[in-house]
Amino acid sequence: MPHPNPTTPSPAPRRATLASALALPALLLAGLPARADWSLLNMPVGVTPVSREVYDLHMLILWICTIIAVATFGAMAYALVAFRKSKGAVADTNMTHSTAAEIIWTVIPVVILVFMAFQAAPALIRIEDTRNSEMTIKITGYQWKWEYEYLNEGVSLFSSLAADSNAARRKNAGIDPRSVENYLLEVDEPLVVPAGVKIRYLITANDVLHAWWVPDFAVKRDAIPGYVNEGWFQVDEPGIYRGQCAELCGKDHGFMPVVVKVVPKAEFDAWLAARKAPAAVAAAN
């Protein structure tokens, strides 16, 4: 898997200068400049080969759009200033069509689109390539929790919203969400996976549609009852990564977070063995 950006990504400051410029008036209007967190303006670079590739693709097209926007909006702004009747502009009523112009503004976008397609298509092929994975995890969505099964290991666990978030999210709970650490993004038991290993996941649902999404992995796939989807991720950096269910699944759709704890391989093996032990004991009895 080629790494477009092998260095450890720095989360901020991101290159969203246009976005920042446009955001500024909105910010001033709300009187919130002191509290603004500029790292919350753009897509995370993420921690997987796929997420870095997706980020680069996102930035590429954002810049292409920005350049086209500057040119188009610049021309519009020029027209609005230069051709005002109040400044004495007289309409050139003979200017009604131009085949050359139509060809130019058809061909140039075609060239840009072909360029973008050639960037996006290989990335898509790599993202969809689930071969050569070292382990498989089955993810099942329920209203409203996730189940993770380590296939061929006999280990499985349920993962639901953490108790303190669950208490604070009740209507008029009287608990300030800001006082809860990782409000709505914490679970009782996270998915634990080893670092540096290509992990394939199979995903399905038990009741309605859900979608498993971790922004730092650039992984989002629907969980569909009766069908099994697949995908993969590989995280080299140990850490805790958070996401949420991304497909409307009923009243508590906003309250079924995804938390993935990535640990070094040895630590994972130990964790898995510990999880197996009680199960083995139970089976023996």
Interaction with other proteins in 7-46: which residues (CB under 8 A)?
Answer: 19, 22-23, 25-27, 29-30, 32, 35-37, 40-44
Q: What are phi and psi of 230, to 5 degrees?
A: -135, 160
Radius of gyration of the chain (CA): 25
Helices (H), 95-196: 99-127, 163-168
Does the protein bind other proteins through residue 158 (CB under 8 A)? no
**Separation of alpha carbons 270 and 278, rounded Å:** 13
Q: What are phi and psi of 278, to 5 degrees?
A: -60, -35
Q: Which residue stretch of 84-92, 190-198, 264-272, 273-281 sits at the interface with other proteins (rule: CB under 8 A)?
A: 84-92
Minimum distance from residue 253 beta carbon to Cu ion (Å): 5
CB-nearer residue toward other proteins: 212 or 268 = 212
**Separation of alpha carbons 116 and 52, rounded Å:** 17
CB-nearer residue toward other proteins: 107 or 277 = 107
CB-nearer residue toward other proteins: 191 or 203 = 203
- Considering only residues 2, 7, 90, 282, which one is a binding residue for other proteins as defined by CB under 8 A? 90
Minimum distance from residue 121 beta carbon to other proteins (Å): 6
- Considering only residues 8, 106, 132, 285, which one is a binding residue for other proteins as defined by CB under 8 A? 106
Minimum distance from residue 229 beta carbon to other proteins (Å): 4
For 141: left if phi > 0, alpha if psi spans -120 to 50, otherwise beta; the answer is: beta
Q: For binding to Cu ion (CB under 5 A), which residues are involved? A: 210, 245, 249, 256
